[in-house]
Amino acid sequence: MLDFRRFMGLSPPFLSLFGSRRIPAERNVFLVPPVIPEYGDPVFRTVLTCTSSKEGDIIDLTPRVEKAIAESGIRTGLVQLFVQHSTAALTTIEFEPGVLSDLKRALSVLAPDDADYAHNTRWGDGNGRSHVKAALVGPSLTVPVENGKLLCGTWQQIVLLELDVNAGRRRSVICTVDGA
């Protein structure tokens, strides 16, 4: 039998909440305590900004992310990126004209320019497809860091996809580096 109070590391003030109830060990599958980082683990956060010129721009953020990792002083951990806009997205890709063109074409098949979008009817801004494309790709990305360097593949770069029909958007990407 597993003593729930002892397993969860509860101190005496909380013991009265659970009484002396014991939980059979075979039923403790969901009683795993959360992993909580040690107090004082370093976290570095900065905002990466860029300005697009048109819908379909693909902006290589890799050098800026590498600079943020260097500034953080963190050698081993994770870099987490989050774009704060609903018509932009983040991904990794080989940053070469052929595959960039292929990605743009694939997204236009998934969310065609000439389709009817309820968002356009409601708001009249014509960027319904932009929201759909951004939702399909996603607003965030996590990449491991080792020896102060991104662990991207040889042909893998971190990119921001500008998906909004409105040109010249200033975009903010929250860059968080954590580890040791």
Between β-strands 157-162 and 58-60, what pairing exists: parallel, antiparallel or unpaired? antiparallel
Confidence of residue 36 (pLDDT cuts 50, 70, 90): very low
d(CA 76, CA 179): 6
DSSP code at position 2: B
DSSP reduced 3-state for 72: helix
What does the pLDDT read at residue 79?
Answer: 98
What does the pLDDT read at residue 95?
Answer: 96
Tens digits of per-residue pLDDT, 128-177?
Answer: 999 999 999 999 999 999 999 999 999 999 999 999 998 789 999 999 99
> C-alpha dihedral over 26, 31, 32, 38, to 10 degrees?
-150
Which domains are seen in the chain, by residue range? 1-34 (no CATH), 43-179 (2.60.120.460)
> C-alpha dihedral over 146, 148, 151, 156, to 10 degrees?
180
d(CA 172, CA 29): 41
> C-alpha dihedral over 50, 54, 58, 60, to 10 degrees?
-30
* Mean of the per-residue pLDDT values of the chain: 84
Q: Is the pLDDT of residue 31 over 60?
A: no
State mean pLDDT over 59-85.
97
Q: Which residue type does 99 have?
A: V
What does the pLDDT read at residue 40?
Answer: 55
Q: Which residue type does 116 have?
A: D
Q: Is the pTM of this model over 0.95?
A: no
Q: Which two structure tokens, joined as six digits, stand for 77? A: 């951990």
d(CA 146, CA 157): 16
State mean pLDDT over 61-75.
97
Confidence of residue 21 (pLDDT cuts 50, 70, 90): very low
What does the pLDDT read at residue 16?
Answer: 43
Q: Is residue 5 a contact partner of residue 18, using CB atoms and an 8 Å limit?
A: yes
Confidence of residue 41 (pLDDT cuts 50, 70, 90): low
- Separation in Å, CA 61 to CA 146, 174, 178: 18, 12, 18
d(CA 109, CA 170): 26
Confidence of residue 178 (pLDDT cuts 50, 70, 90): very high
What does the pLDDT read at residue 42?
Answer: 79
Q: Is the pLDDT of residue 13 over 70?
A: no
What does the pLDDT read at residue 11?
Answer: 44
